[in-house]
Every structure is written in structure tokens, then in C-alpha cells.
Chain A
Amino acid sequence: MSTSTRESRGQEMALTAAVAVVIVLLSLLPMLRLIKEIVAPGGTLSTVAIKAGLASPATWIATWHTLVAGIGGTILAVLSGTLVAVLITLTDIRGHSALVLCYVMPLMIAPQVTALAWLQLSGPASPFLKLFGAAPPLGTKNPLYSTSGIILLLGVQYGPLVFLLVRAGLRKLPRELVEAARAAGAGWFTVLVTIVLPLMTPSIMAAAALAFVSCVGNFGIPAFLGIPANYLVLPTLIYQRLAGGGPAVLGETAFLSVLIGAIAMAGIFAQEVMSRRRDYRISSTSLPAEPYELGRWRPAVQAGMWLLIVLVLFLPLFGLVLTSLVPGYGIALNARTATLDNYRFVLFEHGAASRAFFNSFWLSIAAAFFAVLVAVPIGYLIAWGKQRWVRLLNLSVELPYALPGVVLAIASLLLFLRPIPLTGIQLYNTVWIILYAYLARFLVLALRPTISGYHQIDRALEEAAQVAGAGLFMRMRTIIFPLVAPAAIAGGLLIFMTALSELTVSALLWSSGSETIGVVMFSFEQGGDSNYAAAMSVITVAVTFVLMLVTNLLAPYLPIGVLPWRD
């Protein structure tokens, strides 16, 4: 008895220790290294790095741009996401699951792909506009190369994020709160304005904070739309500095990345303050309210909704596909010019591009695989563990994802610029540093579904195995893993989709030979080869879409909300 107790205690300790090591390596270490660079560059406490950063006018301009684009994008995302959530959740509009799937889709598409797609839709070379002969003359500036272009696309990209959170909140709204207001004589619109939206304040604020963090950390959209217009935000400024100065400017970029982190944190903090100002806690649970009957307005609302989806999803993707079929810049698409050469070129002929497909695929698979393996024990400790420090555990896994990707990229650079002590292993300038950053950044995407998977499982199942004499590792393998596997694997697939066309992190960490799809796509676009970039984008979007369909097969075994696109 006592030996087996000791054995199980020992296994629990081993598990905890392993988890602690992973967390320290992936989450605490890079953050600490970054902070050290700011407060103590070169090993001694000093404010030199901070002073130098603050003195540069470029810092201030980029900060201002970041705030403008971030706040503008957030406002647009909150307005559109909330409106769509209200219409889909509270009215009797038809075809919910198709609408949700299509509206959430842009979230699954990498920002730079979104940017590219919209650029292909609107510029003077746009094959789409050329179809109608509506393209402006060559040489005209694409209207999207502007602040408002960036804001528009950030809003399109992150509107679905707001939608998902607000919709989740609306679904929990007890119907009595709405009905009491209607019985008091309030019409539907009054109820919406005086009851529903105020009660949704916490959801809307949380969504706004998330959208803000995503907007200020976004690299793909300001890189594609802002750099040509010389409109730099902090992530693109960092990119340009590093591309021009190499490791020598690492200290300066470290300051800039901490600045982004601070702006993001300020957004989260502001949300906390706003949500605390009043009591929004809904104490009762009940069925959701009956959907509002749109009556004769329904066809119009329905049509408006699909029009929105055509505008934000189908048209840009259509433009992307058209561009990928055109042989060169500015050539109109017709039966004679249409070609698959671009696809052949990026897949088989261009060295870096084909390497990038290979790299991105295995990086994504490795990151997903690792995350699934690690998420199960970490989730176990967080969901079922009794220790109080598990909250910190959760927080420290969330952090690398919550903070903009540039922050983690710079931290990884600092950490691995020199060979790892004692071993002499050099990660810098290899593909491994990208893998490290992916592991750190995306782990939480597998952890969240796994935790909700744990919450759905009756713990008695594990306890029964325990009573039957199974030790912790045995239980993990035979009971726990099979039970949470669908959720963890769905998380892994989300990671794969996200990492496949990821750009923010790899743009700063890539080196010759370790290009990723995002990086090559970006360099094609910068070199004016939009057709190749479009072909690569279409391939990744197609892969993502197929994976979404495959992941849907897991849906019956998953907790609600794991697959964002499923209603």
C-alpha cells in the first residue's frame, strides 16, 4: 500500500516537474530574457536602451500609427462583430450554421492572405476589376495602401473574433431579463439598447480587448498595406530595423517589442477597468430568449448578411484565385491567358518557395504534435489539479499567445542569438528557432480545448481507474488521453492551420534555408510578384479549408465552442 502510494506520489511529482520545465522553457524564459534586455542591456542595470528608444522620432510615429490602426480596427471589428452577433443570435434569420461558418472563415485565413486578397480585388492590376473593364489605369495607387485600408482589413479580420465572444455571451442571456422588459412595455429595439447591449458589456469589452491586442500585434496587414505607403506601425518598424541592421539593432527592437506588449497590456487593463464599473453579473440561467421575428424585413436582412459575407469572404478569395491564374502583373484574365504556371512555379520550380512549403508543413505538424502531447498533462494539472499555483500556470501559457507575436519573436532571438550555454548548440539562423517560437506561441491553442474537454469529463472515470490500481502514467495513457484526445487533437489541428501560413514570427526569425510559406509569400509580394504570392495563398487557403472539413468529423466528440466556425 505505502509503496504504491509513494509510487503514485512520485509519478505526480514527475508530471508536475516536467510541466514546470516546459512552461519555464517556453514561456517564462523568453519573457525574462526580453525584460533583462530592456532594463539591463549587457548585464548591468541601465536605462540606455529605454532612453535611446524614446529619443527616436520613428518610435513615436510608429506608436501613433499603431494606436490609430489598432483603435480604428478594434472599433470596426466591435461594431461589425456585435451587429452580426445580434442579428444571427437574436433574430429569426435563417441558415445560422452557414452564416457562422462563412463569417468566421476570415479568422482562419492568415492576415497577409487577407491583405493580398483585398489588394488583388482593388488595385489597377486587379484581374477582377479587369473582368468588367473597371480597373483604374496602371500606375494609380491602390486605395488600400492607406491608414483606412489597414483599419478596414483589421476590422474584417477580427470582426469574427468579436462575433464569437459576443455570440457566446448572448446565448447565455436568460430570457426572463428580456421578457421582463417587454412586459414593461419596451419594444424590441428599446430592449436591445437598454437591456441586451448593456448586459453584454463584459463580453463586448473582452472582445474589444482581444481585438485590440490582435490589431496592434498584427504584422501581415500593415506589412502588405502599410510598407508600400511608408506607413509603419511598431511590428513593421521592428521588421524593417532588423532586416536592415541585423543582430546589432536587437536591443533597440527589444524596446520596441516591449512597447507593443505594453500597449496590448494597456488595452487589457482598460477592459478590466471598464467591466468593473458596474455590476453585469447575470446570476440566473434559463433558456435563451425567443428569436425576434423580423417579419417582412427578414428577406432584406438576410440578403444584407449574405452581401456582407460575399464582400468580406467570397470576393477577396475570388480575386485571389483570379490573380493566381494570370501569367503576370496587369494582364487581363481570359480563356487564353489563364494558366496554372504560377502554381507549378511555386510548388516545383522556385527553390525557396518549395522549401517553404516543406518547412511550413513540418513546422506546423511538429508544433501541433508537440502541443497535443504537452496539453494533456498541463490540462490535467490545470483542470483537475488541486494546487493553487495552477492559475499562474494557465496565465504563463496564455502569455506568449496573448502578447503580440513580435514580442515572442524578439525574445526568441535574444535567447538564442548566442549558442545555448554548455551545449554549444546554435539555434539562431536555423529552422529550429522558428519551431521553438511556434511551440511557445501556439501551445495555448491546444491547451484551451483540452481544458474544456477535461471539464466535460466525469472525474469518476479516472478515479475508478485509480481504485483499480492504475498509477498516474497508466491512467494518463489508458483513460485520460483517450477521453480528452478529440479536444486536444482539434486544438492541434487549429495550431496546424494557424502555423501553416504564419508570418509575424517567422518574418523576424527566418534565414536562408528556413523560409516559411508566409515569408516567401511576403517576399514575392514585395518584389511585385503578386501572382506567385496569390498562388501560394490559394494553396494554403485550400489546405486550411480541407482541414476544417476534416476537423468537423471530430465535432461530435468535442466540447461546444472548440471549433470556432461551427455553430
Chain B
Amino acid sequence: MARLSLDHVTKSFANFDAVKDVSIDVADGEFLAVLGPSGCGKTTLLRLVAGFEKVTSGEIRIGGETVSGKGGSVAPEKRRVGIVFQNYALWPHMTVAENIGYSLKVARLDKAVARQKVADALALVNLQGLGDRRPANLSGGQRQRVALARCLVAAPSLVLFDEPLANLDVHLRASMEDEFAAFHKRTGTTIVYITHDQAEAMALADRIAVMDGGRLAQLATPRELYHEPANEMVASFISQGILLPADVLTAEEAGHCKVRVLGTELVVRCRPGERPRAGAKICCRSADLDVSPDGPGFDGLVKRVIYQGGAARIEFTPAAGPDLILHFEQPDPVRLESGAQARLRIKSGWLIPVAGAAS
């Protein structure tokens, strides 16, 4: 177990910054998920931590020791990190047991001890008796378990996962997710877990680092990420948040302020210290929207109704903002039809803080 800290880490390939000025502190035993769309630099970040890539600038420390930085780079084999790759990366010319026991063999561990450890690791991932199989003869889920066992057997201080479930079918994912959670609980290892699937990140992680175009967009608990996104990217990326232009009318008071959105006034949650300003944005979720035929709200047109069993997803364009699309769910019996006029009400929302404001 070890603390991991990244300090203003930047990685450039030629002229292109794959990771830009990222600073993250991962506490001892913490489960950190790194979440972001494809190509945002997640894998590069992980390879920097593992030592397969050299930082262009900044510093990485594992357990207090600087492993990457100006003074050079500690070789990957000296970092005591475990990695589980998306494509499993099992060596096809070795049996399952040989794959798992590889790090023990490299460390010249006593053969009998090594055999016992491999057996324990196999048991830990529920693969007893498969030690003599070849990786090619295993299912995807089994392969990923072997990869997990291979990485645990060396008792690494830090385990890195690179989209470990991306190649598995939905069914297997849920059970592997449980297994990862159980593994974390049992061993207390520090984990950095990369994924592009937010449900997975939310389910597993203590905190989530959202990345966008190489930068760290927000680092927060899943709950905070959902309720208090720090910027528009996080707001729209997490759970399909809806962004609406707003003018802040009053200063913050007890975590709330009054805003004007689409011509109606409402009270939203906000950060302390917010002051009246124009050109702000609020984020609301589909659950925050409600049809209010007679009450306060704003009028608009129902664009599309997509029935999804038990409820319909309604896409709605307000008259005051013809470029906007708001979506929400209406449970059965669905009464709205596409092309119909309707009046919506925003029950609550979150005022996106000014860019660059400290959280």
C-alpha cells in the first residue's frame, strides 16, 4: 500500500500534449477511478505512473519516493506496481500458473513457496484447478481473473487497472465489478482504475478523476461529481447533465442563489461566495425537470417521445431557447406526444462555478 501523488504532470508526444498539468493525490488504500471519454489521456496517465512513459514535466511519487521527475525515472520493474490491462496481456506461451508465478520466478522465490502463492492467488480469483490451462483456452472473464491474480501475487503496493472490463460482455462486467470491489476491501491496496464507463466508476471508486483532453477536469467523490460538477464538461459528461444559460440574480445564501433561466426565476444550489453575474450556466438532470401544465415554468415544443418501457424519454425544446434540447423521463401513462406544446418546470439545479474558481 502506498500513497500516489502526481504533481503538475505533463506528457507530450511530439507537439501534442496527451496529459496536461495533472495533479492528483491518491491516499493510501484509496480506490481512485480515472474517468473520461476515449482519447483523453487516461492510458497515458497510467503508463506514466507505471513508468512505461517518461514525464515531460512534473513529478510522480509513489509512497513518498519520487519515481518520475527531473532526476530521472525509476524503471518499471523497480516500482512495485501491478497492472491489469484491457487486453489482459497474458503470455500465450505459458500456462495460467506460469503466468501467475512469473513475478515470483523473476524474484527467485523458493519453488515450493511460489507454488503455494500461485495456488492461493488462483483460489482468490476462483480459478482453482485451472493452473495448467493455456490462456487461449479460457473465457474472457477467466482471462481477466488470471490477469488479476498475476498482478496480486506479487503483493504490489499500487495496482493499476486499464479499462479491465471493456472487453467483457455486460453480464460478466457486473460480477467482475463485485470481484474488484471485494479485492479492494480485502487487501486495502491503493488502486487507480481507468474506465470510460461512469456507472463502473461510480460503483467502485472512493473518488473519481474526470479527464478531458489531457487535463484533469474534476477530482471528487461520485456524489459530488453528480451534484456539484465543477465545469460544463463534467456536468454534461456525468449522467447526461443538461446545461442551461442563466443569469445569477442574488448572491449566495446558505448554499443557494436565485437565477433566471429561460425567462423564469428559480433557486439553485451553488458554491459559497457566488455573486450576481450574467452569462452563467446551470446544470440540471432529467430528474429535476417536471411537467407543470398550469403552474410556473416555461413553454416549449415536444420534439420526440421515445418509449423505453414503463417510461418515455421526452426531448423538449423551450420556446425561449430554440437551440436547446432538454430531456426528461415521464413514467406511464405517457401523455405527451411529439409536436405537442407543453410547459416545464425546473425543480432544482446547480450553478456551474466560474471557470478556474477553486473548489
CB distance from A175 to the nearest CB of B (A): 8
B102 contacts A181, C-beta separation under 8 Å: yes
* Cα–Cα, bound, A182→B154 (Å): 12
B63 at interface by CB-CB < 8 Å: no
CB distance from A281 to the nearest CB of B (A): 6
* Cα–Cα, bound, A188→B151 (Å): 19
Using a Cβ–Cβ cut-off of 8 Å, how many residues does chain A contribute to the interface with B? 28
Interface residues of A in 168-203 (CB under 8 A from B): 174-177, 179-187, 190, 194-195, 198-199, 201
B106 at interface by CB-CB < 8 Å: yes
A-B CB contacts (within 8 Å), total count = 87
List A contacts of B150 (CB < 8 A).
Answer: 180, 184
- The segment from B88-96, B247-255, B287-295 that touches chain A is B88-96
B residues whose Cβ falls under 8 Å from a Cβ of A = 47, 50, 52-53, 75-83, 85, 87-93, 102-103, 106-107, 134-136, 147, 150-151, 154, 156
A314 at interface by CB-CB < 8 Å: no
List B contacts of A186 (CB < 8 A).
Answer: 77, 102-103, 106
CB distance from B87 to the nearest CB of A (A): 4
* Identity of the chain B residue whose Cβ is nearest the Cβ of A277 in the assembled complex: B93
A279 contacts B93, C-beta separation under 8 Å: yes
* Cα–Cα, bound, A283→B138 (Å): 13
Partner of A279, one of B75, B83, B87, B136: B136
List A contacts of B156 (CB < 8 A).
Answer: 183
* Cα–Cα, bound, A194→B90 (Å): 13
Given A279-B134, A281-B136, A290-B52, CB of A184 within 8 Å of CB of B91: no
List B contacts of A179 (CB < 8 A).
Answer: 47, 50, 52, 76, 83, 85, 89
Partner of A280, one of B79, B90, B92, B154: B92
List A contacts of B89 (CB < 8 A).
Answer: 174, 176-177, 179-180, 284
A96 at interface by CB-CB < 8 Å: no
Given contacts A181-B91, A284-B87, 15 further A-B contacts (CB under 8 A): A174-B89, A179-B50, A180-B83, A180-B91, A183-B76, A184-B77, A185-B107, A186-B77, A187-B77, A190-B106, A194-B102, A199-B92, A279-B135, A283-B87, A283-B92
List A contacts of B151 (CB < 8 A).
Answer: 183
The 10 closest A-B pairs by CB, nearest first: A184-B103, A176-B89, A284-B87, A182-B76, A180-B89, A186-B106, A183-B83, A176-B85, A198-B93, A182-B77
A177 contacts B106, C-beta separation under 8 Å: no
CB distance from B148 to the nearest CB of A (A): 12
* Cα–Cα, bound, A286→B156 (Å): 25
A392 at interface by CB-CB < 8 Å: no
A residues whose Cβ falls under 8 Å from a Cβ of B = 174-177, 179-187, 190, 194-195, 198-199, 201, 278-284, 286, 290
List B contacts of A195 (CB < 8 A).
Answer: 91
Given A176-B85, A279-B136, A284-B87, CB of A185 within 8 Å of CB of B77: yes
Partner of A185, one of B50, B91, B93, B106: B106
List B contacts of A198 (CB < 8 A).
Answer: 91, 93
* Identity of the chain B residue whose Cβ is nearest the Cβ of A284 in the assembled complex: B87
Name 30 A/B residue pairs within 8 A (Cβ), A-sorted: A174-B89, A179-B50, A179-B83, A180-B90, A180-B91, A181-B106, A182-B75, A182-B77, A183-B77, A183-B79, A183-B82, A184-B102, A184-B103, A184-B150, A184-B154, A185-B103, A185-B154, A186-B77, A186-B102, A186-B103, A187-B75, A195-B91, A198-B93, A279-B92, A280-B93, A281-B92, A281-B136, A283-B92, A284-B87, A290-B52
B53 contacts A290, C-beta separation under 8 Å: yes
List B contacts of A175 (CB < 8 A).
Answer: 52
Given A185-B154, A186-B102, CB of A278 within 8 Å of CB of B83: no
List A contacts of B78 (CB < 8 A).
Answer: 185
CB distance from A278 to the nearest CB of B (A): 5
Partner of B87, one of A184, A281, A286: A286
List A contacts of B47 (CB < 8 A).
Answer: 179
A199 contacts B76, C-beta separation under 8 Å: no
List A contacts of B80 (CB < 8 A).
Answer: 185
List B contacts of A199 (CB < 8 A).
Answer: 91-93
CB distance from A502 to the nearest CB of B (A): 40
List B contacts of A174 (CB < 8 A).
Answer: 87, 89
CB distance from B220 to the nearest CB of A (A): 29
* Cα–Cα, bound, A253→B273 (Å): 100
List A contacts of B76 (CB < 8 A).
Answer: 179, 182-183
Given A278-B93, A290-B52, CB of A283 within 8 Å of CB of B136: yes
* Cα–Cα, bound, A186→B107 (Å): 8
CB distance from B16 to the nearest CB of A (A): 15
CB distance from A193 to the nearest CB of B (A): 11
CB distance from B136 to the nearest CB of A (A): 5
B106 contacts A183, C-beta separation under 8 Å: no
List A contacts of B154 (CB < 8 A).
Answer: 184-185
* Identity of the chain B residue whose Cβ is nearest the Cβ of A289 in the assembled complex: B52
Interface centre among A179, A180, A183, A198 (most CB of B within 10 A): A183
List A contacts of B77 (CB < 8 A).
Answer: 182-187
* Cα–Cα, bound, A187→B93 (Å): 19
List B contacts of A181 (CB < 8 A).
Answer: 91, 102, 106
List B contacts of A185 (CB < 8 A).
Answer: 77-78, 80, 103, 106-107, 154
